[in-house]
């Protein structure tokens, strides 16, 4: 067992012992869970090299008493390909307080808005980690932000306000040892850490007999860097938008709409329509179409998800595909998930890339087979 792993497990044990003592003395509720997983992927084309090889321990700890509490989520990672990705990683760490009418949360957290699946229209606060592009679980791609979030809930509606003092941005890999590298790139220049550069916004949500909709406004930054002169930079934007979700029997319609306005008055529009179908027999089918407009230029991205559970949900077959409609690019992840027990899962899959232009072109030779083992505790 590595020294780092021993230290991590010792730290976990110390936290558990301390939490158990506090719980026994003060009536505090203690929740501990997590998982151990290992993931390995190999390119199917020459030189048939490793695309990823990493293992991690994830721990999630929650202490709660009288409506208040603390949550911490952390990883211990060993990455055989990228040494700078190995080590201890604090993911979320926040305090919270609330009751049935309101709640407030402060600290490092993941904030999600909207109803899209794997696409971003109004979900603009927590950026993305592109260290392995889209070849990670979508939950792992999200980057936590240090934020203050307050929410008021009243019967059929809620109001949420968010303040992010120091914005986070997409993690763009530039290490030449990384098969998913986008480098070399010019140096990055981030906005100064000032009050005027903070992110802030609000979201109003309404729930009317199965029909859910939200309206949002957010003063934020573009999260993907752009080349400005001799460096990578970001520009300030105001985002206005909304989302809706409406069930029709076995179908659920989802939609999102947003307008991004920069400080020069330029507009970028984004619209998404999605349809989920639950026909029974453990089938799930979902399709989405996302259209972006900017200065007369259009970009279209579609997704398709199909999954089927077999043998009393012990085996799940699934496929999830992104299609770049304009440039005829494709990324498709096929996977088989075998649940040996509720805690132990073995997954195998195939990621297929195809593109001659557009967003998937850089990864046209990155098709891979992969294996993942996971133990939940």
pLDDT at residue 139, rounded to an integer: 85
pLDDT greater than 60 at residue 19: no
Mean of pLDDT values over 218-242? 94
Same structural domain, 34 and 140:
no
Same structural domain, 30 and 136:
no
Same structural domain, 15 and 112:
no
pLDDT digits (tens, 9 = 90+) for 147-164: 999 999 999 999 999 999
pLDDT at residue 96, rounded to an integer: 98
**Could you tell me the CA-to-CA distances from 84 to 36, 87, 175, 226 in Å, in that order?**
20, 8, 10, 24
Same structural domain, 176 and 301:
yes
pLDDT at residue 297, rounded to an integer: 80
pLDDT at residue 23, rounded to an integer: 55
Same structural domain, 14 and 120:
no
CA atoms within 13 A on the CB side of 264: 3
Same structural domain, 61 and 204:
no
Domain membership of residue 367 (yes or no) is: no
159-170: buried (b, 16+ CB within 10 Å) or exposed (e) per residue? ebebebeebbbe
347-369: buried (b, 16+ CB within 10 Å) or exposed (e) per residue? bebbbebbbeeebbeebeebbbe
Domain membership of residue 373 (yes or no) is: no
Query: How is residue 297 written in tokens?
Result: 């230029």
pLDDT greater than 90 at residue 209: no
φ, ψ for residue 5, nearest 5 deg: -65, -40
Across the chain, what does the average pLDDT equal? Answer: 93
* Of the candidate ranges 24-28, 53-57, 188-192, the one whose mean pLDDT is the lowest: 24-28
Closest CA to 90 of 71, 118, 67: 71
Same structural domain, 206 and 270:
yes
Mean of pLDDT values over 315-335? 97
pLDDT at residue 236, rounded to an integer: 97
Q: What percent of the chain has pLDDT over 70?
A: 93
Tokens 């040892």 belong to which residue? 177
Domain containing 74 equals: 1-91
pLDDT digits (tens, 9 = 90+) for 47-66: 999 999 999 999 999 999 99
Same structural domain, 239 and 305:
yes
φ, ψ for residue 235, nearest 5 deg: -125, 150
pLDDT greater than 60 at residue 119: yes
Say if CB 162 and CB 111 are below 8 A apart.
Answer: yes
Mean of pLDDT values over 181-190? 91
- The count of structural domains within the chain is 2
Mean of pLDDT values over 183-202? 94
How are the residues of the chain apportioned to helix, strand and coil, as percentages rounded to the nearest 5?
10, 60, 30
CA distance 307 to 283: 6
φ, ψ for residue 193, nearest 5 deg: -85, 80
Same structural domain, 27 and 140:
no
pLDDT digits (tens, 9 = 90+) for 349-362: 999 999 999 999 99
Say if CB 353 and CB 331 are below 8 A apart.
Answer: yes
Categorize the per-residue pLDDT at 17 as very low, low, confident or very high, splitting at 50, 70 and 90: very low
Tokens 């990621």 belong to which residue? 351
**Could you tell me the CA-to-CA distances from 59 to 8, 223, 227, 326 in Å, in that order?**
10, 28, 38, 42
Domain membership of residue 349 (yes or no) is: no
pLDDT digits (tens, 9 = 90+) for 248-257: 999 999 999 9
Consecutive H or E run containing 11: helix 3-26
Categorize the per-residue pLDDT at 14 as very low, low, confident or very high, splitting at 50, 70 and 90: very low
pLDDT at residue 25, rounded to an integer: 55
Angle ∠(117,123,124) on CA atoms, nearest 5: 140
Same structural domain, 218 and 163:
yes
- 41 class by beta-carbon count within 10 Å (0-12 exposed, 13-18 middle, 19+ buried): buried
DSSP string, 116-144: -SS--SS--SS-BB-TTTT-S-HHHHB--
């Amino acid at each position: 067992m590595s020294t780092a792993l021993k230290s991590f497990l010792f730290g976990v044990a110390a936290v558990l012992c301390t939490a158990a003592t506090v719980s026994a003395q003060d009536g505090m509720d203690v929740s501990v869970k997590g998982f151990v997983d290992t993931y390995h992927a190999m390119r199917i084309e020459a030189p048939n090299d490793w695309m990823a090889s990493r293992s991690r321990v994830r721990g999630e700890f929650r202490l709660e008493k009288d409506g208040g509490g603390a949550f911490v989520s952390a990883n211990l990672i060993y990455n055989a390909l990228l040494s700078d990705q190995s080590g201890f990683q604090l993911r979320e760490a926040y305090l919270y307080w609330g009751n049935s009418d309101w709640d407030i949360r402060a600290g490092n957290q993941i904030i999600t808005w909207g109803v899209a699946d794997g696409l971003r229209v109004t979900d603009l606060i927590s950026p993305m980690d592109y260290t392995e592009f889209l070849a990670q679980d979508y939950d792992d791609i999200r980057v936590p932000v240090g934020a203050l979030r307050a929410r008021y809930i009243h019967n059929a509606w809620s109001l949420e306000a968010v303040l992010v003092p120091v914005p986070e941005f997409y993690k763009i890999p530039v290490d030449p040892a990384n098969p998913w590298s986008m480098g070399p790139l010019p140096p990055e220049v981030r906005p100064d850490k000032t009050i005027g550069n903070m992110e802030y916004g609000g979201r109003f949500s309404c729930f009317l007999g199965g029909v859910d909709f939200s309206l949002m406004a957010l003063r934020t930054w573009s999260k993907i860097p752009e080349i400005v002169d001799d460096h990578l930079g970001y520009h300030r934007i105001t985002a206005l938008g909304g989302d809706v979700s409406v069930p029709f029997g076995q179908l659920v319609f989802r939609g999102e709409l947003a307008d991004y306005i920069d400080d020069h008055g330029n507009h970028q529009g984004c619209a998404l329509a999605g349809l989920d179908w639950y026909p029974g027999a453990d089938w799930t089918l979902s399709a989405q179409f996302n259209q972006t407009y900017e200065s007369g230029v259009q970009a279209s991205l579609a997704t398709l998800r199909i999954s089927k559970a077999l043998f009393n949900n012990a085996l799940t077959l699934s496929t999830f595909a992104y299609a770049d409609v304009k440039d005829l690019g494709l990324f498709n992840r096929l996977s088989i998930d075998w649940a040996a027990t509720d805690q132990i899962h073995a997954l195998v899959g195939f990621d297929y890339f195809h593109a001659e232009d557009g967003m998937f072109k850089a990864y046209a030779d990155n098709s891979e087979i992969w294996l993942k083992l996971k133990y939940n505790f």
